[in-house]
Amino acid sequence: MARTAAVPVILEEEYESRRADLAKELKPNSLFLLLSAKPQQRSHDTEFPYRQNSNFYYLTGFKEENAALVIVRGKKAFNTYLFVQKKEKQLELWTGKRLGEKRAKKLFHVDNVFTSELLHEKVLGLLSKSKNFYYDFNVTDTRLDALREKAKSLLAHYNAATLVERARLVKSPAEIRLIKHAISITKEAHHRAMKLSKQLTTEKELQAEIEYVFTKNGAYSDAYTSIVASGNAANTLHYIENNKALKDGELILIDAGCEYEYYASDITRTIPANGKFSKAQKELYEMILNVEKEIISMVRVGVLRSHLQKRAQELLCRGLVSLGILEGECKKLLKKGKLNKYYPHGIGHWMGLDVHDQAPYKDAKGKEIPLCEGMVLTIEPGIYIDKDDKSVPKKYRGIGIRIEDDILVRGSGYENLSAAIAKEVQEIESM
């Protein structure tokens, strides 16, 4: 791919300032602990590719397993500790080079670096001087169990993940550059799919072409399992079998996005297998496309996601009535939940280190968090009509369409980060 801009990175200074910001949030006399992700065994002697825990990665940028971050906060000042795997020649022969403690000390702006064998002993010592213990409540890990047990009667416990996830809501310029980079690779993949769909015979082949582009461009393949759903399969929202033959006259819903340096992209395009939309497909597609564009145009600081959803429901309902798919007055239809059958999901979700970014939608008081500058969310309206739905005019049966873009909230409005990925009927057909 001709990409001239330098590949973006996040500098250690940024991770350092994230840790400092987090330390400020801790109660005085606290110990904050985050563990690296546990490796996942696939079967005997084989593991799934390792991926770091997103919260741990957010605060360290460190990709190795068997690591831990500890932040100890006193009255005001704080100290940081990184625990890393010890260098071991024999193990490195099998699983590759490790950074080791000495290099970690040079590269990371943390106060102390120890090898992971010392985690238990050091944390126990530090806990004995702390009043509050922060750790990820959702993690089950023997490394944590023993410490939690010891700390049980001594301390107040808080969920460390909640603090990190709140910080992850608003993206920094460096994070946005990485998301843009992921999207630029995903753009190439979707355009390749549009160009090749006519000459390929199965969903699997199309998936392989898309993921080939991801991998060849240095992405960690997909940010979620790609959905390549042709014909009626598009009406199964999480269809991932991708094993049907492509058929002339059907649409293909492709929901696929790569993850680049831990940052996700999440894009859906719906394209005709034979390169040309039928009249009925085009009618439905353009209705949804117009809704998508209108909802995107509503994105700005202060807006609530629930308002975007409500407006999307109104517009989609109106669109379905105008096409004769629903009958009646929209207000009543919506009240009776008649749209849910055709539009059963939300308008979008936060996106970042995770495709469904692990960040809150409500504040501590349970109030919905309005859009703020620097948030990234998807906008993804869709309509799904089962092939056997006799209540719908025949020409629309068996069609599932979703259009999904990744949107950055800007002070003055929004930036559609995936605007360069073709979605107009003419653009798609001309590919």
User: Which of the residues are catalytic?
Assistant: 45, 238, 255, 266, 345, 349, 356, 380, 384, 402, 404
Nearest approach, Cβ of residue 75 and Mn ion (Å)? 44
What DSSP character marks residue 394? Answer: G
Restricting to residues 331-360, name those near ligand GLY by CB under 6 A: 349, 355
CA–CA distances in Å: residue 275 to residues 142, 193, 196? 53, 11, 9
Q: From the list 80, 197, 270, 378, which residue makes contact with Mn ion (rule: CB under 5 A)?
A: 378
The answer for residues whose C-beta is within 8 angstroms of residue 168's C-beta and 6 or more apart is: 54, 55, 58, 352, 353, 357, 358, 359
CA–CA distances in Å: residue 52 to residues 56, 60, 112, 124, 181? 7, 10, 21, 24, 20
Q: Is the Cβ of residue 213 or residue 330 nearer to ligand GLY in the bound state?
A: 213
The answer for residues whose C-beta is within 8 angstroms of residue 135's C-beta and 6 or more apart is: 32, 33, 34, 144, 147, 148, 157, 159, 160
**266 contacts Mn ion (rule: CB under 5 A):** yes
Nearest approach, Cβ of residue 345 and ligand GLY (Å)? 8
- 224 makes contact, choosing from Mn ion, ligand GLY, none, with CB < 5 to 8 Å by partner type, with ligand GLY
Nearest approach, Cβ of residue 395 and Mn ion (Å)? 27
Nearest approach, Cβ of residue 354 and ligand GLY (Å)? 11
Angle at 185 between CA 183 and CA 190, to 5 degrees: 90
Restricting to residues 372-431, name those near ligand GLY by CB under 6 A: 380, 404
**222 contacts Mn ion (rule: CB under 5 A):** no
Q: Are 238 and 400 in contact (CB under 8 A)?
A: no
- 220 makes contact, choosing from ligand GLY, Mn ion, none, with CB < 5 to 8 Å by partner type, with none
Question: How far, in Å, CA of 264 to CA of 393, rounded?
Answer: 38
Question: How far, in Å, CA of 399 to CA of 233, rounded?
Answer: 9
Nearest approach, Cβ of residue 404 and ligand GLY (Å)? 6
Write the DSSP string, 97-109.
---HHHHHHHHS-
What DSSP character marks residue 36? Answer: P
β partners of residue 368: 362
Nearest approach, Cβ of residue 257 and ligand GLY (Å)? 7
Q: Is the Cβ of residue 250 or residue 255 nearer to ligand GLY in the bound state?
A: 255
Question: How far, in Å, CA of 410 to CA of 412, rounded?
Answer: 5
**211 contacts ligand GLY (rule: CB under 6 A):** no
User: Strand pairing of 30-35 and 68-73?
Assistant: antiparallel
Contact code string over 286-305 relative to ligand GLY, x by CB under 6 A? --------------------
- 65 makes contact, choosing from Mn ion, ligand GLY, none, with CB < 5 to 8 Å by partner type, with none
- 158 makes contact, choosing from ligand GLY, Mn ion, none, with CB < 5 to 8 Å by partner type, with none
**266 contacts ligand GLY (rule: CB under 6 A):** yes
- List residues binding Mn ion (CB under 5 A): 255, 266, 268, 378, 404
- List residues binding ligand GLY (CB under 6 A): 224, 255, 266, 349, 355, 380, 404
